[in-house]
Amino acid sequence: MKQTHLKPSFVEFIPDSLEDGVLYISERFRTCSHNCCCGCGEEVVLPLSSAEWQLSRDGDAVSIWPSVGNWNYACQSHYVIRWNRVLWAGSMTAHQIKRVKQRDEAALRAQVRSDNAARNREKLGDANAVAQASQAGKAGGDARPGAPRRQTLWARILSLLGFGSNE
């Protein structure tokens, strides 16, 4: 049976067996899966990245762009998932597609921006953690009121003794 709606389900791991009409989304693993909306039972996996599929989320409503074209399956179905609705590509007019694109592209631009920011945070995460840890180690109690000079002195002593050079 052709689906007209997909219900998003935010999960950590995509389950082994998928329920028809549910779009499983793992933000952690940046992927989503669903049973093909035509009802053929094939599992459709959509990796989420700026180069593949992009997910826009507005509360519990999700859109995925670009369209899902199941060219590798016998059904050859083609649809767009827009705010939880399944828009069958064949049933859309050119005007509808244009409007969907415009709205989704605007949403996706915002999404890609925040994705990139998140990715940079992830990338910098380790380096920052190391830098912060080493700063915290070096600065020690510098932020503690009343003892900045003492801490600085301690840091210098430790450094003279050879501690801290590899911290």
Residue among 6 and 107 whose Cβ is closer to Zn ion: 6
The distance of closest approach from Cβ of residue 94 to Zn ion in the complex, given in angstroms and rounded to an integer, is 24
Residue among 62 and 86 whose Cβ is closer to Zn ion: 86
DSSP label of 146: T
The distance of closest approach from Cβ of residue 41 to Zn ion in the complex, given in angstroms and rounded to an integer, is 8
CB 79 within 8 A of CB 89: yes
Residue among 10 and 73 whose Cβ is closer to Zn ion: 73
The distance of closest approach from Cβ of residue 129 to Zn ion in the complex, given in angstroms and rounded to an integer, is 45
Residue among 10 and 88 whose Cβ is closer to Zn ion: 88
Dig out the tokens for 167 from the structure: 């911290």
The distance of closest approach from Cβ of residue 22 to Zn ion in the complex, given in angstroms and rounded to an integer, is 15
Cα 40 off chain centre by? 28
CB 77 within 8 A of CB 70: yes
Binding site for Zn ion (CB under 5 A): 36, 38, 40, 75, 77
Residue among 75 and 139 whose Cβ is closer to Zn ion: 75
Q: Is 86 exposed, middle or buried (0-12, 13-18, 19+ CB in 10 A)?
A: buried
CB 36 within 8 A of CB 19: no
CB 8 within 8 A of CB 25: yes
The distance of closest approach from Cβ of residue 69 to Zn ion in the complex, given in angstroms and rounded to an integer, is 11
DSSP label of 27: T
